[in-house]
């Protein structure tokens, strides 16, 4: 591993804290060092307090910050004297320690200091760097792990046997460090956990960390245990969506709420899943206990969730007894699933959680294969993993997480999603916690939002192959389909029936009617598997109850879709799928209505633009957002017992009334 230090970059960061920010970001750039919070850094400095008296402080990484993007505000200023005094206590519960760490802050607004803050304070260096480096963990997770570590690092580091992070670990380091350290000590090696380095400058501490990690990497290379097997040439099964949706439904039942099931189609994942020894090597435990919160102790191999639940229950009962506390079992849903046909899938209540589990398992696959090549993969005993999974600090975090949004863990698909009402529907659903797949013919859909809970796909809804491909991609991305918003449609220029070309008629029917029929039909088996029941919302039109002259094709197509929806409501009720329509009118904040068209239409009726926009019973303007909010509510609890309804959202139209 190479140092990323650059003198010119570093020169832009002046002062202790800024230097700390700079090299923390350098560590953060390497996912093989610090993956999703698996690492932290600190700097010791002296600052005057409000009375002008100097105070020794430890600025340590605060929770909720990622090293790659950390700022000065991400470091919590703790009073050194308080931390060092805590280290002299014979024992302290971790909840009490967390409270004391907060009390040690000189700024009550700072984030919660890292649970490893006391350990940072104990080490002599001004700058302290800590990582959970993959290469080091590979080394540890072998039968000869400790011997390798001692031989490779000699006495340049103090070796600390594995204990759970928190007060116990700080206490053990406080005891062992002074016994074994000497002038040449540059860090700590925490078995099965990670490395600490320290130095007088940010650069020295950072580059010592890179050196320590490189020692582990070079050893793995020398022992032919570095390169993982070549990616698999196996072609993934083409049609996986129904199997994935069925699996997601079962996983959601184990979660006790809808969850997302994300497929990871990398060649590396297919190679790993195809290993003949998969059932052995994947069932030892996580690479480091730190991962258990995101991945659970073990992945599920295959799809037998009942067996997984039984094994998890046994694990819980066996190890809860050893903990001496009264514990409640967490959900028994796996977070990582390895299936020869479905590949690597990860589970999360949110797209972000599932993505993090995927990132972690991507590294775990490498760590496992390197350790296997080095002499056998051997994870920590289950009790150590259990103690972290059921750690009171983690449990407190779970309790404090707050209520999830109404559609958390659910997947919505919106057509015509790149602009206007469709885009507003995407936003309304995202606001309610859903993961959203947006379809549109406009390629802008793919870059509409860069966030893990949105997936934009180019799709021509009139082409069956395009629709099938989009549904397959959507389900691989999130695992299924709960809500379908049929919004895409065209409004052709007005033409009286006598003059209308059959070609235009057919085009309108093909997009506004045939495409919706095809999509509904293709989505039905997926909606049937929705954990909380499927929901369809049809963006209809005022033209259904009150058609207009010159809009024959449009009005007829919308009326036909309306009838299609009513039949679907009759047919699909037994499958717990409800379908409701809303009829908007005069929604002007869409691409269709340029200021010029608006002005000319207003003039046509002898009205000002403002009068024209509010030309309805309530004298109110109807926006895309108004329509979208109703569409989202139709998927929610308010409409839980309603199907086949038609609700106008038009400010009141006297022809409809
Ligand atoms: Zn750590």
Residues 166, 49 within the same domain: yes
In terms of Cβ atoms closer than 10 Å to its own Cβ (0-12, 13-18, 19+), residue 473 is middle
Residues 371, 484 within the same domain: no
Q: Is 393 helix (H, G, I), strand (E, B) or coil?
A: helix
Could you tell me the distance, in angstroms and rounded to a whole number, from the CA of residue 290 to the centre of ligand 1?
8
Both structure tokens of 473:
């991609």
* Predicted pLDDT of residue 494: 84
The Cα 625–Cα 641 span in angstroms is 24
Domain coverage including residue 484:
411-590+621-649
Residues 51, 125 within the same domain: yes
Residues 191, 76 within the same domain: yes
Q: How do strand 343-348 and strand 194-199 relate by DSSP bridges?
A: unpaired
Q: Are the C-beta atoms of residues 4 and 26 closer than 8 Å to each other? A: yes
Could you tell me the distance, in angstroms and rounded to a whole number, from the CA of residue 282 to the centre of ligand 1?
23
To 10 degrees, the CA torsion angle through 324, 326, 332, 333?
-100
Could you tell me the distance, in angstroms and rounded to a whole number, from the CA of residue 133 to the centre of ligand 1?
10
Residues 97, 166 within the same domain: yes
* pTM higher than the cut 0.85: yes
Could you tell me the distance, in angstroms and rounded to a whole number, from the CA of residue 129 to the centre of ligand 1?
10
Residues 302, 162 within the same domain: no
Q: Which of 222, 249, 265 marks a domain boundary?
A: 222
Residues 176, 58 within the same domain: yes
Q: Which of 346, 366, 399 marks a domain boundary?
A: 399
The Cα 640–Cα 535 span in angstroms is 9
Q: Are the C-beta atoms of residues 628 and 561 closer than 8 Å to each other? A: no
Distance of CA 155 to the CA centre of its chain: 41
* Predicted pLDDT of residue 243: 97
Residue 303 lies in a domain: yes
547-568: per-residue pLDDT in tens?
Answer: 989 999 999 999 999 999 999 9
Could you tell me the distance, in angstroms and rounded to a whole number, from the CA of residue 190 to the centre of ligand 1?
8
The Cα 44–Cα 77 span in angstroms is 9
Please identify which of the residues 478, 554, 605, 612 carries the catalytic annotation: 554
Residues forming a β-bridge with 578:
535
Q: Are the C-beta atoms of residues 481 and 526 closer than 8 Å to each other? A: yes
* Predicted pLDDT of residue 461: 97
DSSP label at 349? S
Q: Are the C-beta atoms of residues 86 and 100 closer than 8 Å to each other? A: yes
Could you tell me the distance, in angstroms and rounded to a whole number, from the CA of residue 377 to the centre of ligand 1?
21
Average pLDDT over residues 508-528: 98
Could you tell me the distance, in angstroms and rounded to a whole number, from the CA of residue 381 to the centre of ligand 1?
18
DSSP, residue by residue, 106-144: S-TTSPPBPTTHHHHHHS-SSEEEEE--HHHHHHHSSTT
* Predicted pLDDT of residue 626: 98
40 pLDDT band, cuts 50/70/90, is: very high
The yes-or-no verdict on residue 323 having pLDDT over 90 is no
Could you tell me the distance, in angstroms and rounded to a whole number, from the CA of residue 335 to the centre of ligand 1?
22
Residue 236 lies in a domain: no
Q: How many CB atoms sit inside 10 A of residue 29's CB?
A: 11
389-401: per-residue pLDDT in tens?
Answer: 998 887 777 777 7
The CATH number that applies at residue 60 is 3.40.225.10
* Predicted pLDDT of residue 233: 63
Residue 30 lies in a domain: yes
567-605: per-residue pLDDT in tens?
Answer: 999 999 999 999 999 999 999 988 778 888 889 889 988
Q: Are the C-beta atoms of residues 33 and 213 closer than 8 Å to each other? A: yes
Residue 463 lies in a domain: yes
Could you tell me the distance, in angstroms and rounded to a whole number, from the CA of residue 130 to the centre of ligand 1?
7
Residues 483, 632 within the same domain: yes
Could you tell me the distance, in angstroms and rounded to a whole number, from the CA of residue 38 to the centre of ligand 1?
6
Residues forming a β-bridge with 198:
128
The Cα 551–Cα 601 span in angstroms is 15
Residue 20 lies in a domain: yes
Residues 142, 203 within the same domain: yes
132-175: per-residue pLDDT in tens?
Answer: 999 999 999 999 999 999 999 999 999 999 999 999 999 999 99
Both structure tokens of 606:
């002898």
524-538: per-residue pLDDT in tens?
Answer: 999 999 999 999 999
Both structure tokens of 442:
């406009």
Average pLDDT over residues 332-342: 96
Could you tell me the distance, in angstroms and rounded to a whole number, from the CA of residue 558 to the centre of ligand 1?
59
Number of domains in the chain: 3
DSSP label at 530? -
The yes-or-no verdict on residue 234 having pLDDT over 70 is no
To 10 degrees, the CA torsion angle through 569, 572, 576, 581?
-30
Residue 568 lies in a domain: yes
The CATH number that applies at residue 505 is 3.40.50.720
In terms of Cβ atoms closer than 10 Å to its own Cβ (0-12, 13-18, 19+), residue 168 is middle
For 147, 250, 406, 566, 580, the CA distances from 536, given in Å and listed in that order, are 61, 22, 17, 11, 6
Residue 233 lies in a domain: no
Could you tell me the distance, in angstroms and rounded to a whole number, from the CA of residue 268 to the centre of ligand 1?
27
Residues 40, 122 within the same domain: yes
112 pLDDT band, cuts 50/70/90, is: very high
Residue 597 lies in a domain: no
The Cα 131–Cα 364 span in angstroms is 15
Q: What is the mean pLDDT of the chain?
A: 95
The percentage of the chain sitting over the pLDDT mark of 70, rounded to a whole number, equals 99
Residues 187, 261 within the same domain: no
**Active-site annotation holds for 554:** yes
Residues 448, 318 within the same domain: no
Q: Which of 187, 222, 257 marks a domain boundary?
A: 222
């Amino acid at each position: 591993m190479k140092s990323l230090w650059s003198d010119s970059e570093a020169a832009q960061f002046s002062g202790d804290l800024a230097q700390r920010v700079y090299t923390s970001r350098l560590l953060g750039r390497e996912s093989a060092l610090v993956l999703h919070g698996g690492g932290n850094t600190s700097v010791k400095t002296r600052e005057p307090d409000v009375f002008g008296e100097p105070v020794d402080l430890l600025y340590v990484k605060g929770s909720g910050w990622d090293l790659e993007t950390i700022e000065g505000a991400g470091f919590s200023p703790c009073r050194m004297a308080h931390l060092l005094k805590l280290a002299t206590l014979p024992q302290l519960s971790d909840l009490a320690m967390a409270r004391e760490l907060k009390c040690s802050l000189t700024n009550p607004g700072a984030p919660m200091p890292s649970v490893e803050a006391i350990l940072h304070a104990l080490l002599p260096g001004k700058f302290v760097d800590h990582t959970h480096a993959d290469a080091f963990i590979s080394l540890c997770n072998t039968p000869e792990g400790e011997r390798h570590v001692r031989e490779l690092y000699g006495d340049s580091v103090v070796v600390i046997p594995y204990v759970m992070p928190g007060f116990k670990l700080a206490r053990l380091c406080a005891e062992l460090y002074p016994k074994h350290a000497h002038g040449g000590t540059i860090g700590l090696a925490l078995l099965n956990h990670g490395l600490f380095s320290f130095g007088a400058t940010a650069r020295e501490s950072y580059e010592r960390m890179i050196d320590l990690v490189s020692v582990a990497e070079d050893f793995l290379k020398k022992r032919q245990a570095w390169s993982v097997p070549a990616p698999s040439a196996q072609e993934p099964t083409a049609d996986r969506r129904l199997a994935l949706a069925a699996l997601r439904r079962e996983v959601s039942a184990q979660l006790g709420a809808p969850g997302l099931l994300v497929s990871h189609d990398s060649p590396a994942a297919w190679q790993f899943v195809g290993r003949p020894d998969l059932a052995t090597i994947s069932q030892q435990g996580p690479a480091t206990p730190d991962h258990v919160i995101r991945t659970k102790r073990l992945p599920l191999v295959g799809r037998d969730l009942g067996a997984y639940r039984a094994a998890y229950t046994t694990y819980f009962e066996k190890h809860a007894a050893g903990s001496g506390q009264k514990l409640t079992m967490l959900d028994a849903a796996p977070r990582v699933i390895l299936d020869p046909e479905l590949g690597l899938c990860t589970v999360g209540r949110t797209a972000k959680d599932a993505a993090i589990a995927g990132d972690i398992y991507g590294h775990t696959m490498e760590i496992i294969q390197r350790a296997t090549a080095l002499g056998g993969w051997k994870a920590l005993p289950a009790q150590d993993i259990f103690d972290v999974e059921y750690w009171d600090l983690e449990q407190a975090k779970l309790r404090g997480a707050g209520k999830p949004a109404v559609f958390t863990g659910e997947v919505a698909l919106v057509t015509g999603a790149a602009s206007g009402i469709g885009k507003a529907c995407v936003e309304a659903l995202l606001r309610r916690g859903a993961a959203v797949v947006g379809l549109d013919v406009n390629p802008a859909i793919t870059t509409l939002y860069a966030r893990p809970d949105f997936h934009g796909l180019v799709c021509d809804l009139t082409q069956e192959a395009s629709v099938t491909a989009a549904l397959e991609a959507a389900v691989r991305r999130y695992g299924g389909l709960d809500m379908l918003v049929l919004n895409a449609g065209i409004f052709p220029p007005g033409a009286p029936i006598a003059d209308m070309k059959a070609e235009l008629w057919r085009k309108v029917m093909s997009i506004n009617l045939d495409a919706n029929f095809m999509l509904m039909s293709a989505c039905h088996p997926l909606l049937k598997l929705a954990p909380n029941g499927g929901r369809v919302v049809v963006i209809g039109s005022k033209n259904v109850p009150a058609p207009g002259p010159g809009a024959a094709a449009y009005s007829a197509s919308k009326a036909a879709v309306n009838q299609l929806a009513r039949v679907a409501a009759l047919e699909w009720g037994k499958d717990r799928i409800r379908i409701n329509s809303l009829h908007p009118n005069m929604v002007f904040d869409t691409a269709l209505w340029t200021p010029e068209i608006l002005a000319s239409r207003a003039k046509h009726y002898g009205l000002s633009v403002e009068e024209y926009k509010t030309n309805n019973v309530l004298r109110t303007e109807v926006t895309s957002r108004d329509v979208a909010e109703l569409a989202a509510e139709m998927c929610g609890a308010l409409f839980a017992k309603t199907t086949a309804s038609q609700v106008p959202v038009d400010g009141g139209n006297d022809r409809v009334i």
